[in-house]
Amino acid sequence: MALENQGPPFPTVAACILDSYARRVGRELLHRSGDLLDDAKRLLAYEAIVLSHDAGVDPRFVYANSAAASLWRMSIEDMIGMPSRLSAPVDARDDRAQMLSDASRDGVLSGYSGERVASDGTRFQIMDATLWTVDGYSSGPGQAVVFSRWEPIDDV
């Protein structure tokens, strides 16, 4: 993958995500081997959705695993660098912003549900997501999310 050219080196981003999750949540997100590249590959293939954005004024995704790219119907390369606000429909962005603020204040937020939108306009509800602050990014503390449950939202 050509992710190394888009922001921090891919294995380093994965390590920041995994280290910060363990520190903030108090347990490992996945069993780690201790090998940075192996752990990055395992996170990429992890069955749950994992996304992370930087600390910019308009935060941009610096990480998406394969499950996230599939759900958003994009390639990983297209997700990296995309403003993370675009992952939610316009009418759900205030709720998303409040959730990000709460997670930033507390360091971690569990049990979040919210509406999101794929690249083709398909809407879905994420459920029981955990959002946490990610330390180690050059832009400052970013945020990451993990979730395994979502449901499509029927357009009426």
pLDDT in tens, 7-35: 445 789 999 999 999 999 999 999 999 99
* CATH number for position 118: 3.30.450.20
> How long, in residues, is the chain?
156
- Confidence bin at 138 (pLDDT 50/70/90): confident
Mean pLDDT of 128-149: 94
Structural domain of 48: 3-152
What backbone phi and psi angles, to 5 degrees, belong to 56?
A: -65, 170
Q: Is a pLDDT exceeding 80 seen at residue 69?
A: yes
| 144 closest CA partner among 27, 38, 30, 19 | 19
Overall domain count for the chain: 1
